[in-house]
Amino acid sequence: MTKTIAFLTAAEGVERVELTEPWKAVEEAGHTAVLLSPEKGEVQTFDHLDKAETRQVDQAVSDAQVDDFDALVLPGGVANPDALRTDADAVSFVKAFLDSGKPVAAICHAPWTLVEAGVLDGRRLTSWPSLQTDIRNAGGTWVDEEVVSDGNLITSRNPGDIPAFNQALLGALG
């Protein structure tokens, strides 16, 4: 059965491979990927600090409904989740998605948005190492592992973990 997966990013600062590789895995598995962002238009991806490709936004997150999607992917990049956590619609969507029980997969710096959404209390997860204090302060247990699944939350540390991240995401989709 085809599922629809939301990918939520800010307009800039998205780590390209953390968007494009899970996107490719989702589509190759026969599912539909949809790009959400705070505003319509394009998002600028980056290869670390260098501009890479742009991607067309499919829908503004303010117009998105959790019920329309089967899973949510939060790519990283330092600036991307930092911008998302200041957008009330994005934070509200992420919180509602986690609360729904549907899979949420966040990689690298993306758990910053989860911190802002207040959904990490009692959760076990991983991220880029610099987020561990923020995660602990938000009530989560940070671990240094390639991929961590805790209920409906899937997390990984960095682009090197993408194969395990994709496998966990696709496994959660059934």
Q: Helices 162-173 & 16-28, crossing angle to 10 degrees?
A: 40
Q: 142 pLDDT exceeds 90?
A: yes
The gap between the terminal CA atoms of the chain, to the nearest Å, is 9
- Give the CA distances from residue 34 to residues 50, 59, 69, 71, in Å, rounded to whole numbers and listed in that order: 24, 8, 9, 11
- Per the residue annotation, which of 61, 108, 135, 170 is the catalytic one? 108
For range 35-55, the mean pLDDT = 96
Task: List pLDDT tens digits, range 56-71.
Answer: 999 999 999 999 999 9
- Per the residue annotation, which of 109, 115, 128, 155 is the catalytic one? 109
Q: Which domains does the chain have, with CATH numbers?
A: 4-173 (3.40.50.880)
Task: List pLDDT tens digits, range 10-44.
Answer: 999 999 999 999 999 999 999 999 999 999 999 99
108 a catalytic residue:
yes
109 a catalytic residue:
yes
Q: How confident is the model at residue 114 (pLDDT cuts 50, 70, 90)?
A: very high
Task: List pLDDT tens digits, range 62-113.
Answer: 999 999 999 999 999 999 999 999 999 999 999 999 999 999 999 999 999 9
Q: How confident is the model at residue 166 (pLDDT cuts 50, 70, 90)?
A: very high
Q: How confident is the model at residue 1 (pLDDT cuts 50, 70, 90)?
A: confident
What is the model's pLDDT at position 144? 98
**pTM summary value:** 0.98
What is the model's pLDDT at position 46? 97
151: left (phi over 0), alpha (psi -120 to 50) or beta: left
